[in-house]
């Protein structure tokens, strides 16, 4: 099975963590449909950790907690599928999950069969309590094999926190996406750190196996497990989402979809940003200014002869972000220039093939989709 676009959906962890239950999963699925998120492309509804009993059943299989998931996984899976959505679940490559539920180490084949039997379409596979003597590459590879032998198409989302130089070997295991960072929190420094940590790693992301900088905190508004009241507002969410799209990331929403504000819905369904994120070629952006600048600019080749140009201000002071075309190989004598359209405001810039300095308010960004024109 090959995946050719970074997956889009919702995951329970950021908001619900240990408080997950079948009601909030159903309500998340309902909200995905009612808000138009499904029609914008979000399709997976993923239950993260804390869905199972702490012991396996007498048959050695994982058992959903009957108090929090009384209807069972088949009923929940049917419900999610009846909404035109796909069903995701969670397990761990270690002996236990991060919260102490049974992990799938050495139980990969029986667990994959259980997940397939529940109609699972996506498996997030974590890395806690991993035996010191075991080899991560072998374990992720074994689960990929186990999923394949079920005969069901199941997206395999590896999640080892970016450890063990995972970017160098994960593609060989059969995983379709892999976490290349630690856990995100709802703070601007965490968002930036997640992105900046990929400077040397984003090149490994490509169709078939995508980098995953973690679930989105867009619209959490301080509520939930990873919520930090007051530390992110609409500007920080906008920059967070723009960065994830520019870096071609899986878009797994983590907020409470039942209470998503209209501004956040508008952001999450921005057609141009989603077009950049889901671009078929998934090319890494090129930093087109002084590398590591706190007001950086980026250029990204897209398919269909288009490209994206983005200006960020990571600082707390308004100022200009510079774009140096020569850093992307474009010269003023080339006879072509960039015609740019901003994805939030529709503002048009260009044609231009010379130094461009744009004013960007603190923590904000400007993102353009561009086309080449003769000059
Ligand atoms: C790890 C993962 C998180 C989440 C928790 C669940 O920390 O990185 O995304 O799945 O485990 O326990």
* pLDDT, mean over the chain: 97
Confidence grade of residue 289 (pLDDT, cut at 50, 70, 90): confident
Tell me the sheet residues that pair with 44: 9, 86
Instruction: For residue 132, give the CATH number of its domain.
Output: 3.20.20.70
Which residues line ligand 1 at a C-beta cut-off of 6 Å? 13, 48-49, 97-99, 126, 159, 161, 183
Say yes or no to pLDDT of 292 above 90: no
218 within 8 A of 253, measured Cβ to Cβ:
yes
Which tens digits make up the pLDDT trace of 252-275? 999 999 999 999 999 999 999 999
Q: Which uninterrupted H or E stretch holds 272?
A: helix 271-277
Domain range enclosing 143: 8-277
Q: Does one domain contain both 224 and 113?
A: yes
Which member of 183, 293, 322, 327 is catalytic? 183
**Residue owning the nearest CA to atom 12 of ligand 1:** 98
Residue nearest to atom 9 of ligand 1 (CA): 183
Ligand 1 midpoint to CA 44 (Å): 17
Residues 36 and 138 in one domain: yes
Answer yes or no: do 253 and 315 share one domain: no
Q: Are 150 and 116 spatial neighbours (Cβ–Cβ below 8 Å)? A: yes
**Residue 236 domain-assigned (yes or no):** yes
In terms of domains, do 69 and 174 share one?
Answer: yes
What's the gap in Å between 89 CA and the centre of ligand 1? 12
Mark 143-182 as b/e (b = at least 16 C-beta within 10 Å): bbebbeebebebbbbbbbbbeeebbebbbebbbbbbbbbe
Q: How confident is the model at residue 43 (pLDDT cuts 50, 70, 90)?
A: very high
139 & 65 share domain: yes
Q: Is the peptide bond before 351 cis (omega within 30 degrees of 0)?
A: yes
Please list the residues that pair with 359 across neighbouring strands. 320
Q: What is the pLDDT of residue 340?
A: 98
Residue 97 has pLDDT above 90, yes or no: yes
Regarding predicted confidence, which is higher, 224 or 302?
A: 302
Domain-located, residue 2: no
304 given a catalytic annotation: no
Q: Domain check: are 222 and 364 in the same one? A: no
Task: Please indicate, yes or no, whether residues 258 and 341 belong to a single structural domain of this protein.
Answer: no
Smallest CA-to-CA distance from 190 within 256, 122, 244, 110 is with 244
For the CA of 99, the nearest atom of ligand 1: 12
Tell me: pLDDT of 50 over 90.
yes
Catalytic residue flag (residue 111):
no
Which residue from 48, 94, 160, 214 has its CB within 8 A of the most atoms of ligand 1, so it is best to mutate? 48
pLDDT tens readout for residues 170-190: 999 999 999 999 999 999 999
Handedness of CA 213, 301, 325, 313 (dihedral sign): negative
Closest C-alpha to ligand 1, atom 6: 49
Is pLDDT at 226 greater than 90 in this prediction? no
The pTM of the full predicted model, rounded to 2 decimals, is 0.97
Residue 127 has pLDDT above 90, yes or no: yes
- High-pLDDT (> 70) share of the chain, %: 100
225 and 261 together in one domain:
yes
Question: How many domains does the chain divide into?
Answer: 2
Say whether both 290 and 269 belong to one domain. Answer: no
Pair (270, 292) in one structural domain = no
- Residues whose CB falls within 8 Å of the CB of residue 86, separated by 6 or more in sequence, listed in order: 9, 43, 44, 45, 80, 121, 122
């Amino acid at each position: 099975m090959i995946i050719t676009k970074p997956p889009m959906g919702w995951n329970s962890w950021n908001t619900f963590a240990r408080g997950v239950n079948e009601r909030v999963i159903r309500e998340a699925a309902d909200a995905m449909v009612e808000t138009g998120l499904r029609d914008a492309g979000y399709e997976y509804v993923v239950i993260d950790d804390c869905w199972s009993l702490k012991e396996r059943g007498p048959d050695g299989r994982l058992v959903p907690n009957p108090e929090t998931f009384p209807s069972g996984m088949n009923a929940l899976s049917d419900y999610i599928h009846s909404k035109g959505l796909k069903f995701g679940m969670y397990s761990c490559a270690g002996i236990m999950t991060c919260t102490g539920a049974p992990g799938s180490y050495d139980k990969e084949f029986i667990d994959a069969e259980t997940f397939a039997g529940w109609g699972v379409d996506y498996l997030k596979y974590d890395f806690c309590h991993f035996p010191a003597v075991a080899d991560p590459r072998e374990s992720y590879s074994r689960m990929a094999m186990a999923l394949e032998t079920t005969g069901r198409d199941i997206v395999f989302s590896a999640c080892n926190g970016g450890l063990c130089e995972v970017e160098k070997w994960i593609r060989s295991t059969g995983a379709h996406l892999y976490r290349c960072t630690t856990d995100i929190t709802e703070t601007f420094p965490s968002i930036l750190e997640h992105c900046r940590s990929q400077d040397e790693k984003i090149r490994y992301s490509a169709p078939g196996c995508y980098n995953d900088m973690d679930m989105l905190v867009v619209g959490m508004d301080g509520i939930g497990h990873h919520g930090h009241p007051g530390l992110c507002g609409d500007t920080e969410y906008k920059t967070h989402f723009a960065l994830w799209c520019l870096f071609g990331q899986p878009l797994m929403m983590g907020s409470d979809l039942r209470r998503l504000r209209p501004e956040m819905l508008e952001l999450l369904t921005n057609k141009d940003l989603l077009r950049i994120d889901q671009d078929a070629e998934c090319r890494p952006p090129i930093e087109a200014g002084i590398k590591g600048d706190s007001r950086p600019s980026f250029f990204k080749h897209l398919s269909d002869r288009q490209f994206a140009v983005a200006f960020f201000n990571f600082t707390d002071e308004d100022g200009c972000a510079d774009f140096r075309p020569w850093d992307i190989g474009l010269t003023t004598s080339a006879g072509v220039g960039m015609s740019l359209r901003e994805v939030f405001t529709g503002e048009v810039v260009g044609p231009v093939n010379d130094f461009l300095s744009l004013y960007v308010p603190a923590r904000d960004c400007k993102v353009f989709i561009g086309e080449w024109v003769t000059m």
